[in-house]
Amino acid sequence: MGYYKTENGDGTYTTHYFSEHGPEPIKSEPMLIAPEVWSTPSDPFNCIPYSDVEVQFEGNVTTAYQLQRKLGNTWVNWHMYDKLGAIVQTVTQPGIYTMDGNCYLRFSAGNGSTLTRRAAI
């Protein structure tokens, strides 16, 4: 996938993404993922196009959730931020947590909550 930017005339830019198989745009800003259930948190979530990702944990956490990000071919433990901006290594309480995007994310452990994810550029 490639991209190019065009100026909007008001000091802002629009990013256009296109397939390597042709010049037709396949996505353009604003890009976002509306709230959707992350039914299998161990399945990788492609966050490469998104700078920020939020995950809402609803219900009691029975096993702590451990976030991981893909680094090359390896999954490494990663961190999140709570509502006050403090770094959180694992999620043990319900709430909304923010994480950096621009990568693949998944949870290697965790159980008990319903997870809802959303993302935006």
- pLDDT tens across 21-51, in order? 555 544 445 556 788 999 999 999 998 888 8
pLDDT for 16 equals: 67
pLDDT for 101 equals: 87
Q: Domain-by-domain residue ranges, the chain?
A: 1-29, 32-120
pLDDT for 23 equals: 54
CATH 2.40.50 describes domain 32-120: no
CA distance 99 to 88: 10
Residue 13 tokens read as: 């830019």
CA distance 102 to 53: 9
- pLDDT tens across 43-53, in order? 999 988 888 89
